[in-house]
Every structure is written in structure tokens, then in C-alpha cells.
Copies of this chain bind each other. A is one copy, B any other.
Amino acid sequence: MNDIFSDRISDVPRSFIREILKVTLDKSIISFAGGLPNRDLFPVEDLREATMHVFEHDAKDALQYSTTEGYLPLREYIAERYATRHNLKVDPSEVLITSGSQQGLDLLGKVCLNEGDDVIIEEPGYLGAIQTFSVYRSTFHPVPVMDEGVDVDILSDVLDSCNAKLFYTVPNFQNPSGITYSEENRIAVSRLLQDRQTLLIEDDPYGELRFMGSEKKSFRHFLPKNTVLLGSFSKIVVPSFRIGWIVAREEVMEKLVIAKQATDLHTNYFCQRIIHEYLRTHSIDDHIELIKSVYLKQRQAMVDAIKAHFPSDVHHTEPEGGMFLWVSLPVNVSSVNLFNRAIEEKVAFVPGNPFYVNRHETNTLRLSFSCVDEKTIEEGIERLAKVIREFV
């Protein structure tokens, strides 16, 4: 009966993370494994007000089918925010509302990738991107990510050796590593891409969550035509609405709209209206400040606990924002073995494996600090340190 399935789906494994998250449902486990924003920070009351307003003022329209591109005032808001926050000129016609930025990846795969096409991806990189582009049967070219950004020498070699259609990046507080590309690194990367057709996908779900250090310029400043921006309200407002967006130049947008229509007609319009009403009547900046103040404390607690308790030959990143931190153990330590021991000690994380293309053994792991309070972080890192010491 397997004849019924396409080749593309036979190649994609069930998400490793899903399996891990099942293990961590045990309430006695301190989990640094999830990638969720902190639910205690959701602007529940403000969203309730915005929802009531939509029901009272324009319910019938908000409940009807709508346009594939998305609610124009929301697209205008997004374009305007790029101008005020990033000094980037984006026209609302360049903005397509998607069902989360994950769908942005799927649509880009759909409109760009033939089987076997070359895709450059960060290593470690976002596993959702690895999954999606795997479905389009792309040929992956991983390029290492280091503390200051992607390895430019390797990127240069890779670009020369293949015909990459897409280069997928999360340049701010990357998932999984937490690192941010420096401005020099962005400029160097942009120079390499300048005269090529490769589209650079700048996926930026965490960019607004900077606790420290200085804002870095978007790739769109350096590569205005070939940068595609992906954005999302999941980390700064709420995830369950699944409202994200793609910004792309006209000819790419035209194809994306066709693909979007054939995929799901349009994104949930009721929630587009709610989120627009929320943004129109509340200060998103104040709300982001609140999120940042909490995440910063938790990030600080985690970095401090790691410094206090982990063996000194364990490397870790020190993210300036976002939700994640990356740990590199001595090369001979398997993070999957560590995971199995850690669960016994009631502490969880995500082993690095799923963030690499085709790697089954790694010495790396991801820790999330978004959903755990400072005291619990201290306790969890102590537990983890104890287990690490058994392996090092």
C-alpha cells in the first residue's frame, strides 16, 4: 500500500522534538526543552478587548472569507513598523500574511524548489526549516554558525560549488544557538551574495526580543532585492493565532500569492482582525518591554548558573535576546546519552541532533529559558551539571 505515497513524504522523519516533548509532560521534570513563549506573559485582557471590538463593530466581515494576501490594514501596519523600527522601506503590497512564519517557509519551498535544488542552511539550524525543505527534496549545504554569525569562508566555497536558490538564516538570537550575526558578518555575507540570484531568507521571529547589545541591521539593507523577510506575532503577541508574514519583492510575491491560494485560500481572517485591533489600540512596545524584562532575568539566571556549575570545558553561548542558549560539550560526549541520564535526574533539554542535516550523534544541546522562573532554572542547571560531570 506504500505505492500511494509520494517520494517527498517518505523521506521526512517524524519530528524528534515531538517525541521529546512527550517525555517532558511529567510535571516533576524541569524542562528546558520546549520552544514555547511564556504563557504568563500573553496579553490576555488586551486581546479580549480587541476581540470584543471586532465582534461589536465589524463581525460579519471578520467572519467571512477574505483575500489571499491578508487584511490590508495589518499589512500596512507591518510595513510601517519596518520603517519606524528598522528604517526599511517596505510597501504593503510586498507583505503576504501567512499561517505562522512556518508557512512562509513552506510557500518559499513551493515556489522556488525543484527536487534536488540547492539550499544553504545554518549549522546548527532551525529544525522546522530542515523539515520543510526536506519535503521539497532539496540538497542541503550546511554552513557552520559561530559566535559572530555564519562562517564566511565556508559560505563562499559553498556558493561557488553549487547553484543555491535559497540561503536560510535566523540572524537574530538564532534558534537553536541564540547567536546573532554581527554587522560585519552581515556585510560580508551580503557581499558574497551581491551578484547572485540566491534568495536570502531572513527569518526573524525573535528580533524584537533584544535584552542587551545593539540592534543589527536587517539583510534587506544590504541586499534589498534578494532578501525575503519572514516575521511572526507568535513570540511577541500570541502563537495560537498562527499569524506571520512574508515580505518579498513583487515578482516573488506574485508567485507566493498563487501558492498561498492553492494551499489554504487565506490565513484565518478573524484573528488577523483581532491582532490588528490589538496593535491599533495598545502599545506593542510596552508589551515587548515586559516580555524582555522577564526573559532577561531568566537568561541571566541560566548563564550565571551555567558559569557556576558546569565544568569549564563546556562551551555555551551568551545570547543578547530571544529564548535559547546553546551548549557544546567535549567532542566525545553524546548529548542523546546525556539526555537519557538527565531525564532520570528530572531535567530535560533538546539534544543537538535535529538541528543538523543528517547528523545522528552530536555533543551539543539547546536550552530554553523562556518558560522557567529563575529559581527553577538554578535548580535545573544544577541537576544538569551533575549529570554532565558524569560524562566529562
By a beta-carbon cutoff of 8 Å, the part of chain A in contact with chain B is 1, 3-9, 12-15, 18, 36-37, 39-40, 42, 44, 47-48, 51-52, 55, 59-66, 68, 98-100, 102-103, 106, 110-114, 117, 128, 131-132, 134-136, 165, 197, 199, 234, 238-242, 251-252, 254-255, 257-259, 261-271
Contact = CB atoms under 8 A, between A and B. Distances in A.
A290 to B, nearest CB: 15
A118 to B, nearest CB: 12
A262 B135 contact: yes
A262 B59 contact: no
Q: Is the interface of A mostly helix, strand, loop or mixed?
A: helix
Contacts of A47: 55, 63
A-B pairs with lowest CB-CB distance, top 10: A240-B269, A63-B238, A103-B264, A99-B264, A39-B60, A268-B268, A131-B262, A9-B111, A65-B239, A44-B59
Nearest to A111: B9
A267 to B, nearest CB: 7
A195 to B, nearest CB: 13
Given A9-B258, A197-B4, A241-B268, A64 B39 contact: yes
A165 B4 contact: yes
Contacts of A271: 268, 270-271
A44 B60 contact: yes
Contacts of A5: 111-112, 255
15 contacts: A4-B199, A5-B255, A6-B113, A12-B258, A12-B259, A14-B257, A42-B59, A44-B55, A51-B55, A64-B238, A99-B264, A102-B263, A135-B262, A240-B269, A241-B270
A131 B103 CA distance: 18
A262 B51 contact: no
Given A44-B60, A165-B4, A197-B1, A242 B259 contact: no
Given A4-B199, A63-B42, A242 B266 contact: yes
In the complex, the count of this chain's copies comes to 2
A136 B137 CA distance: 13
A8 B255 CA distance: 11
A363 B113 CA distance: 38
A265 B242 contact: yes
A197 B3 contact: yes
Nearest to A34: B65
Contact of A9 (B132, B259, B267, B268): B259
B65 A36 contact: yes
Nearest to A256: B9
Given A241-B270, A263-B102, A64 B36 contact: yes
A42 B55 CA distance: 12
A9 B262 CA distance: 10
Contacts of A7: 114
